[in-house]
Structures are given as structure tokens and as C-alpha cells.
Structure 1
Amino acid sequence: MKMNDAFLASMHEAMQLLQTAGPMEATEAIQRALRLNTSAVVQPAAAAAPMPAQVVERLLSHNGATMQVRSTDVAAEHIAARAPVSAPPSQPPPARAEPGHFTQHTYTNKAGSRSYKLYIPAARGAEPIPLVVMLHGCTQDADDFADGTRMNQLAEQNGFAVLYPIQPTDANPSKCWNWFRPGDQHADRGEPSLIAGMTREVIAAHGIDPRRVYVAGMSAGGAMAAVLIQRYPGLFAAAGIHSGLPAGSAHDLPSALAAMRGGKGIGISNGGSAKLPPPARPVIVFHGDADKTVHPSNGSKLVAPFEQGEARKEKRRQTARAGHDYTRHTIRTRAGIDAEYWVVHGAGHAWSGGSGRGSYTDPKGPDASAEMMRFFLAHPRAD
């Protein structure tokens, strides 16, 4: 039997186990299949890698169509990890972006190289402007994410720049940020160092106000935004996390699958007496309560550190015009750090209030992009 046929047979076995025995047994079957598939590869698996990710996608879509490709985040680690790593080529200094234009550049450091796109509004004045770093989800790219979130239009209206780091398929076959790998969860290492490095590059080259630099993301990008706001509080003033997971939720395939399905995350208090680390920066969270890809409980876990002790909390259910009902939680810690948690009722795994020109969007409100920008601009970094 050829390797791909054997892999497909193993995936069929895992699907049966998922339906009959449960996710733990299915996870073990997936791991066995990935070990068998990658151990037979002696050359870079550029052509073979996407096929296993697609099969895992179909396996994990048993709970509904909205699962889609984002469920392959975790499987992609085992596929991409076997690819040889070569030293990135040296890069010339970045070209300045044309105001009012969307331009592409490349950033390189010891962790590797990543392209990014940058939007500078035409209507900027002489004063330093804010910057928002936008991290796309799996299977997306900068153009898709910009179209779906409409963040460039908001940038033109409100006078801020937008940076879109781009995850290539050679770093992850489904273009997911590797939020679940230990090597990509720390400052000055892996993907966090690349995103932070290109952010500093843009700040220096384009007259950005360093007190007003923010990070936001969707799904795997939201999970990476959670890592960045925790690891770089001196760089980012606040974070926006849409349909994401808390930093430290996973360290391998089984824990990532468990976290995405609402299980106990390794970085989250399990209800005992241990206190969660106090938040250092404000965060705004959006999550649909019908999300079948990343369980809605992850939204609650993201704001849980803000709710400890003598935090002030308010909750109000509202209706967006021609949109979903939502419940908005506002929280302020004793130290004066704010959080907002928007539970969008009936929404799935999609950017709330987004444009149909992009993928994984829900055109019904509330408008996550506008609300994130309101929150960001109200929270410049004071130190």
C-alpha cells in the first residue's frame, strides 16, 4: 500500500474512533498516522504536506461545516516540523510605503524571514500615528484579512497605519500561526520575535507613535496576539482577540485539540485557589457563542485574569442594528487595566461585522473592527 493510501486508511480509522470511542482515541490515531507519513519522507515534503492537512480537516469537520481549515492548526505542526530549515538570505533595508497604498516588504532575523504588507493612510498629518498589527487566521493572507476586516478603510478614516504579517505555507501548510508550539510562545524566539521585529521596523521607518501600537488577530492569529500581548507589554499597548485562545493553552497536538474544544488549558487556572497572572495590558475579546472551531469558553478564559480580586464588572445584553444580539462585559482591575468581552449570540467562527469580500466573516454586527479601534485608541501605553 502506498504511503498516501496508508495515511488515508489511518484517517478513516480515526474518523470512526472519533464517532464511536471519542477524541482521545481519535487523537492517538492521528498521531500514529502523522508519524508514519512523515517518517517515510526523506526529501522536503512540499507536495505531500497539504494532503494530510486536508484529510485532518475533513476528519475534524464532523461537528459542522464551520470547523473548516482552522482545525488543521495542530496537525500542521507535525507536518511542517520535518521540513529542513535553511538560513534566511540577507535583506536590503525596507522600502517606505507609499501613503494611501498597500505595499509588501520582508523582515529577517535569526528566527527566519517573513513578508508583511503595510497600509499607510493618505490623510495622515505631520504627527506620529498609531499602528495596528493584524494577524490573519489559517488559510488566509494579508489581502484576504484586510478585505474581510475592512481595517484599511478604518485606517484611512481615523489616521492609523496597519501592518499585516504573512505566514507562508513553508512555515505551516495551512498558513496558521504556530501558537501551539513551545518554540513560538516566548519573547525573542520564533514567530513572536519575527512579528515584534517587523513591528519595531515599521515604527522606526514610518513615524509611528510608540505609545499607540496594538495587536489583533483572528483564530490562530488571535491566539498569537494573546502570546504577543503577554510577552511584549513594552511594545504593544493593547490587544484584540477574535475567536482565539489564551497564551499557554497548548504545547502539542493533544493539548491543542483539547483547548480548541473547550478543555482545560495548561496555562489556565482550573478553578482552584491558584491565582492567574495579573494582566499587564488592556484586552478586548470577541467570540461567537455558536463557534464550533474554537470553543466559546476560550473567550471567558482570556478575560478570566482581569476578573480576579476586586475587579469592577458590568454586563449588558444589546442588539446590533441588523445584526446579532450580543452581551458586552466590561471589566476593570484594581490596578486600573481594562478588558471587554463581547459574546456574539448565534455567531460562528467568523469576524463579526466583516465584509463578504474576505473569508471567515459574518456581515452581521456588532462591528468588531470598529469596536477594537475604539478600545485601542482609548488605551495608549502610559509607560
Structure 2
Amino acid sequence: MRRLSDTIGRLVAARGVGEGMAPAGTDRLTDLTGFGRNPGNLRARLYVPASVGPRPALVVVLHGCTQTAAGYDIGSGWSRLADEAGFVLLFPEQQRANNPNLCFNWFATEDMSRDHGEAFSIREMIVATIAAHDVDSTRVFVTGLSAGGAMTAVMLATYPELFAGGAVIGGLPYGTAAGVVQALDRMRGHAMPDAAALDTLARGASTHHGGWPTLSIWHGDADATVHAANAEAILAQWRGLHDVPEAPSSCETIAGHPHRTWRDAGGRAVIEDHRILGMGHGTPIATRGPEACGTAGAFMLDVGVSSTRRIAAFWGIAPMPAAIAAPATAPAPQRLRSVPGIAVPAALKGPATVINDALRAAGLLR
């Protein structure tokens, strides 16, 4: 059986080594040292804007495979938005000694369990940052792409008391893989647990009995690296945690892409789901217009929608620019062919660009 690192290594070779690194001279982050126990052997990077509001929010950002913290920051634009809105950023960074392709080990039991491995290292970084920068502990958020998105799900499940909200981009639900074989199957969308099992997995990750963080989910409908069935499974897992029905409270389109929202009994938006039509595997960004934030590159996909700005707005820590129009209410829905369960007009279905040849060569598709 091919190792996961070998599989991703083939993808790296096909797309170019080092493409997730920050260009020389563009690293805006500093090192956080002495943050506590570090059983996961992770590096901690930090960004504190020149102007920070009193009791600022904290956003924890988890990069994807082959990427660095600084590279992901430049691509996604998080530090640019932090300059505008005055919140603090923490970037846990994987090291090659742990994973040769810089993937967070979201599928390894020792790293996805509370008070163990990488999950505990990230928790220690968060606690240290809260203390050092007088962060409002009720406004701590976490987001990530791909393996970083899956690790975001790990953090939300294992330490729900730490977070007010999270955002998973092209990621996977918590607890569905234990080891390489299952990780590859879940990435393909195979043998996903049902909603009841997903709920049990998340609730069993800690002894938490309080409310759950809000969640923003982003996935491209042409993502052939992490199948969109994973986004549906994340939705099923978190609908159970928030005790909301399967049907969304509202459906809109944002820049031509379907967007669904679930509200709790008090009317608070607790889950939102964005599907970007025609987009492959990566973080949605916008490089032009009032929504511009970030820089296009490998896995940083300019689709005219900034996930960074919209995630921060969903969390309530940075407003959307006033020039951006409100979302349009979708007309009578039809099924989006490639993603089960999404309601979207057929006219909005964009072209799906699929990288099957590269994925078959990498062993991700048969």
C-alpha cells in the first residue's frame, strides 16, 4: 500500500516543488517560541498588526500540504485583512520531520486526539497567544485548507471550548480516518460514516457539554483531490452538533455560486456552506474589485470571491466592503449535478475542470 506521503509527493512532483512557499522577502510572520509543551513538534508563526484593537480576536490559520505558513498568508491575504480589522493571527506550521510534504497529520490517532500530538501543540500555541496579546478568549477562530481544513475539524472537535467559530476549506470531517488507507478512501469520498456516526465521532472527541462553534464550509464542485462528499459529511456532522434540520434556513447565490445557511432556534447563523462552481482544490480568493484580498498561485484560486473576507464577516470580526452587493436569493432550486444536496439553478452550473490524469498517476483515483 502506497504511503500518503508518497501519494502527495507525486502530486508535488507533477505541479512543481516549493510552489507553496512564500516568495523571497514576503514573509510577514514572526516566530512564537516558548509557548508550552509541543508534542507535535510544530513551528508557531505569528502576525500582530501595527494597530490592534482592545481585546482583539485571534484567528488560527492552518496551511495545506506542500505549503508554508508564510506562503499561505500571502496567498489568502489574512495578514492584509488583519491590518484592516485589527485582529491577531496565529499560523501553526508543519515541519518536514513530521511529514515530508508538510501536511498536518489529521488522520493519525496520536495527532487528532485531545491533549496529544499536533492537536495539543496547537492548543498550547493558542493559550500562549491569548495571554501574550490580551486576546478576547471568547473570539478565537480557526480555519484551514485541505489537510489544514481537516486539522481545523480536529481542533473544533477536540477543543470546542476554545473556539467561537471555524472554517473548513476543501477539508474532511473529524474522525472519519484512522491511518493512511482510510485517509485515501475518505479523500475519494468512499465509505463515509452516516450522520449518526459522524455526530458520535465529534461528540466523543472531548467531554464538552456546552454550545458548539459556528462553522463555515467551502468546497469547489470540481475538486478531484478531496471529493465534495466530504463537505456534505462535514455538514451532516455539524447539523447534528447544532441540532438543526437537514434543510437550510436560506439559500442564496453569491457572485453566482450557491450559498446555504442554517440558523438555530434563536435565529443565529450557526452553519454556512459555500460551493464554488467549476473550482478545483484550493482556497477561493479575489484579486480584483472591492473584495480583493490575497495573491493567486498554486492552491490559491482566483474565482472572484474572497473566502478570507467572507469567513471573517461570518465570524463578525471584519465587515465586508460596502461596495459589495448583497447576495441574490436563488430561484426554484435544481440539483447541482456533481455535488449531491446543493440547491442551485441549472443556469449557474459552471465548467468543471478535473485533474484526473494527475490524480490517477498519484494513486488518488483508480
TM-score exceeds 0.5? yes
1:120 is aligned, of 30, 42, 48, to: 48
Q: Which runs of 5+ in 1 are unaligned?
A: 1-27, 35-49, 70-100
Match of 1:132 in 2: 59
- The AA in structure 2 aligned to 1:269 is D
Q: Is the 8 A contact 2:249 2:263 kept in 1?
A: no
Match of 1:225 in 2: 152
Pair 275,111 (structure 1): closer, same or farther in 2 beyond 3 Å: closer
SS in 1 for 2:41: strand
1:245 is aligned, of 149, 160, 172, to: 172
- The AA in structure 2 aligned to 1:57 is L
Match of 1:374 in 2: 313
For 1:276 and 1:172, the matched residues in 2 are separated by 25
Q: Is the 8 A contact 1:138 1:220 kept in 2?
A: yes
For 1:275 and 1:119, the matched residues in 2 are separated by 36
- The AA in structure 2 aligned to 1:293 is T
Pair 123,110 (structure 1): closer, same or farther in 2 beyond 3 Å: closer
CA shift digits 1:158-198 (9 cap, x unpaired): 11011111101001000000001111111110000000100
Structure possessing the higher relative contact order (Cα contacts under 8 Å, 6 or more residues apart):
2
SS in 2 for 1:331: strand
For 2:177 and 2:194, the matched residues in 1 are separated by 14
For 1:248 and 1:146, the matched residues in 2 are separated by 27
Q: Is the 8 A contact 1:53 1:173 kept in 2?
A: no
Pair 248,310 (structure 1): closer, same or farther in 2 beyond 3 Å: closer
SS in 2 for 1:109: coil
CA shift digits 1:97-156 (9 cap, x unpaired): xxxx6311234515153222111111223x210000000001111110100110001101
- The AA in structure 2 aligned to 1:143 is A
Residue correspondence of structure 1 range 1-383 to structure 2 within 5 A: 28=1, 30=2, 52=6, 56-57=10-11, 102-106=29-33, 107-109=35-37, 111-125=39-53, 127-265=54-192, 268-269=193-194, 280-307=212-239, 311=245, 313-320=248-255, 325-334=256-265, 338-353=270-285, 355-356=294-295, 358-377=297-316
For 2:254 and 2:110, the matched residues in 1 are separated by 42
Match of 1:46 in 2: none
Pair 158,58 (structure 1): closer, same or farther in 2 beyond 3 Å: closer
CA shift digits 1:322-372 (9 cap, x unpaired): xxx311010124476610000111011111015335531111222100111
Q: Is the 8 A contact 1:332 1:339 kept in 2?
A: yes
How far apart are residue 275 of structure 1 and its match? 7.3
Q: Which runs of 5+ in 2 are unaligned?
A: 18-27, 204-210, 287-293, 319-366
In percent, how many aligned pairs have the same letter?
32
CA shift digits 1:14-56 (9 cap, x unpaired): xxxxxxxxxxxxxx4x26xx9xxxxxxxxxxxxxxx8x45664
Pair 288,273 (structure 1): closer, same or farther in 2 beyond 3 Å: closer
How far apart are residue 307 of structure 1 and its match? 3.7
SS in 1 for 2:303: coil
How far apart are residue 313 of structure 1 and its match? 1.5
Match of 1:3 in 2: none
Question: Which region of structure 1 is more displaced relative to structure 2, 102-111 or 223-232?
Answer: 102-111
Pair 54,134 (structure 1): closer, same or farther in 2 beyond 3 Å: closer
CA shift digits 1:234-272 (9 cap, x unpaired): 11111011000001121011111110011123xx31689
- The AA in structure 2 aligned to 1:148 is G
Q: Is the 8 A contact 1:282 1:338 kept in 2?
A: yes
How far apart are residue 207 of structure 1 and its match? 1.1
- The AA in structure 1 aligned to 2:257 is Y
- The AA in structure 2 aligned to 1:260 is M
